[in-house]
Structure 1
Amino acid sequence: MRYFGVEELLFSALLDSLFIGFDDFNPEYTRALSLSISENVPIQYDHGPSSTAKIPRIIHHIWFTGILRDDSTQAEIPLVWSGAQAMCRDNNPDYTIHIWNEKAGRDFIQENYPWHIPTYDGYTFPIQRVDALKYFILWHYGGVYIDLDISCRRPLDPLLEFSAWFPRASPLGVNNDLMASRPGHPVFAKIIQSLQVYNYHYYFTYPTVFWSTGPMFVNTVLKDYWDNLTKVVDHYYRYSGPGDIAVLPPIFYSEEYTFFGHRPGGSWHGDDAVVIVWLWERRWAVLVISVVQKTEQAAFLNI
């Protein structure tokens, strides 16, 4: 119980220590961004291609027929999301944009990673294949993966200077709805190699996706990845290897200076998601109640 709490806090502290900050950007860009936000006008700054950028100017989207819970035959990107995708295209006109569908995704896996096909075809839910495809295309091509319910509010060039980054989630960990990487980053090698290991079915849709291919899966693998690069000294993570992953903080992900906008999404979530989220938000209370119950049971048995 204590070990679980310490591990969780240490992981959160590590993520926070890797935040992308204003100091990571060109000072002129930072001034232009601040002016844009304060006056609520488009940013006036031509970042242009950078010779130091590690992440290629590629944006990946994925749309599979049947991903919407209320319409298993929806073949076209819903209008509410097409506007978000258009904003990413308009704000990044020089980027290559790939929109992957079921056939293109499976053909890509079959051609380049045939060892994953049995697991890929065996997934119960389409969103699991979508998640898996995200990791493979980032490992293979690099670029920025963006869920279709996320729009781009400005050019993404300042975020290409890092080897890889994930957005900070609340209250814990990182999200997998938006990720970026250079091609061949070792963290994505570990992620794709772990897909078969974590391929369990938990009866309900949400926990199955969450732990087998979704955010909890990514966080588990990410922590394992960092465990091989770090050691704990006096309850703090100390790097013993390269720190080549950054974390996009809320201020650039969903708050005042965000590069992105978030539209209605969560298309695969069901009623079980409500239960899981409710329990997660109250996890400390659940753990305390569990400990109290076990203590009372032990006391009763000792009477």
Structure 2
Amino acid sequence: MGVISVPGRVHRTHPIIFTCALTAVLLCLWCARSLLHDAWTLAALPIIWFRHAEQFLVSAEADSFDITFANYSRHQLSAAPYDDRVPPILHHISLGSGAAAHTKWSDVRQTCLDIHPGWEAFLWTDETAGEFVAEHFPELRTMWEGYRYPIQKIDALRYMALYHYGGVILDMDLQCNRALGPLRRFEFVAPAAHPTGFSIGFMMASKGNKYVGDLVRNLARYNRHWLWLPYPTVMFSTGCHYASTIHAFQRNRHELKILAGPRSNPNMHSLNGQVTTPIFDHLGSSSWHSYDAAMIVTIGKSGKWVMPVLFVGGIGVAFLIIRRTRRRRSVKA
């Protein structure tokens, strides 16, 4: 007599339950669409940054500009014979227990003032910065005053001051070795960072520059506690990665110049660490870097596909967790 096999019970998800679960997932994605979009733009920077790089990288071929500065006078204050698009204004920022409290940084700042005689100079402090934001950017005042980390207030103030006045933003640890006159011909210019993007420790812009205005307008949108860590929160909400992302998604990047170097020395103007460039001695304080900085920087240097892969992988893990949870609930039912 043969053995009769009884097939195991097959659990099938009821169509109504499946439809409700799918609807819930789609609703969650719809509600989080802004977060997902912003996260993707940040993650995609390593891939899209060099798109149309020939438009925005300063070069002798495209701009008739000597990126080594060897052919410019050390004391050249104007871009003549070109028009000066950047007004002769220097901005330094010292908030809270900032660098200006130390004589060392005051002396470093003085090198930039001395080599730009006749230029207007701002030293933004807690008092003057607060009054400025309240008067000219009242819609951002609450957010600005409530930033979790002091460096976020400094970064946001860079964009506000640069947009309202135009001129040059300089970190307190930048010692000027020459005048910045030759660069005043550009609507916007900043030094390239390694491996992608640019440094916001030095920026020059015309008054009311559209791109700088976009940096100000997007501050509220990207104001999130990214990955629940200090370093990415700063970099993605106000810092270099944030500014570079907004740059990368501009329709016209031709006027948004980035100062890099020749192929033999692409980091010629990068302000990473304690370095000397054709323009500055960068003393590299980086005092705001937190415990997680090394980890994030290592990830960033691992390759341009790492951040997008991590982003997609995170979405995949979240999807698998949701799917597994739904299966368990259906089995219990």
TM superposition score category, shorter chain reference: 0.7 to 0.9
Work out the CA distance in 2 between the residues paired with 1:110 and 1:212.
20
**Deviation digits for residues 50-109 of structure 1 (CA, Å, limit 9, x no counterpart):** 4710000111000012347xxxxxxx4323322321211121112111110111111101
Match 1:113 to one of 126, 133, 137: 137
Length, aligned pairs only: 264
Contact 2:190–2:198 (Cα < 8 Å) also in 1: yes
1:211 is matched with 236
1:168 aligns with 2:184: no
Which of 1 and 2 has greater Rg?
A: 2
2:109 is matched with 85
Work out the CA distance in 1 between the residues paired with 2:192 and 2:138.
32
Q: Which structure 2 residues correspond to residues 230-269 of structure 1 after superposition, within 5 A? A: 241=252, 243-249=254-260, 250-252=267-269, 258-269=278-289
Sort the Cα spacing of 1:7 and 1:127 in 2 relative to 1 into closer, same or farther, 3 A: closer
Match 1:57 to one of 83, 88, 104: 88
Contact 1:163–1:185 (Cα < 8 Å) also in 2: yes
Work out the CA distance in 1 between the residues paired with 2:253 and 2:148.
37
RMSD over aligned Cα, in angstroms? 3.4
Q: Which structure 2 residues correspond to residues 22-41 of structure 1 after superposition, within 5 A? A: 22=60, 24=63, 32-33=71-72
**Deviation digits for residues 128-147 of structure 1 (CA, Å, limit 9, x no counterpart):** 11111000011000001011
Identity over aligned residues, as a percent? 26
Work out the CA distance in 2 between the residues paired with 1:5 and 1:133.
24
2:182 is matched with 158
5+ long unaligned stretches in structure 1 = 34-42, 69-75, 230-240, 299-303
AA at the equivalent of 1:177: G
Aligned-pair distance for 1:284?
A: 5.9
Aligned-pair distance for 1:223?
A: 1.9
Match 2:156 to one of 113, 120, 132: 132
**Deviation digits for residues 185-221 of structure 1 (CA, Å, limit 9, x no counterpart):** 1101111010000000133221111111101111121
Work out the CA distance in 2 between the residues paired with 1:18 and 1:289.
27
Contact 1:67–1:267 (Cα < 8 Å) also in 2: no
Work out the CA distance in 1 between the residues paired with 2:130 and 2:139.
12
Work out the CA distance in 1 between the residues paired with 2:191 and 2:258.
6
Sort the Cα spacing of 1:5 and 1:278 in 2 relative to 1 into closer, same or farther, 3 A: closer
Work out the CA distance in 1 between the residues paired with 2:91 and 2:64.
24
Of 79-88 and 266-275, deviating more is 79-88
2:293 is matched with 273
Aligned-pair distance for 1:12?
A: 1.7
1:71 is matched with none
AA at the equivalent of 1:62: I
Aligned-pair distance for 1:286?
A: 5.5
SS of structure 2 residue aligned to 1:12: coil
Work out the CA distance in 2 between the residues paired with 1:107 and 1:271.
33
Contact 1:67–1:126 (Cα < 8 Å) also in 2: no
AA at the equivalent of 1:271: Y
5+ long unaligned stretches in structure 2 = 1-40, 261-266, 321-333
Contact 2:178–2:279 (Cα < 8 Å) also in 1: yes
**Deviation digits for residues 148-194 of structure 1 (CA, Å, limit 9, x no counterpart):** 11121101100111111121110011111111100001101111010
Sort the Cα spacing of 1:130 and 1:284 in 2 relative to 1 into closer, same or farther, 3 A: closer
Match 2:49 to one of 11, 16, 19: 11
AA at the equivalent of 1:194: N
SS of structure 1 residue aligned to 2:288: coil
Sort the Cα spacing of 1:253 and 1:156 in 2 relative to 1 into closer, same or farther, 3 A: farther
Work out the CA distance in 1 between the residues paired with 2:188 and 2:223.
25
1:148 is matched with 172
Scaled by the length of structure 1, what TM-score is found? 0.75
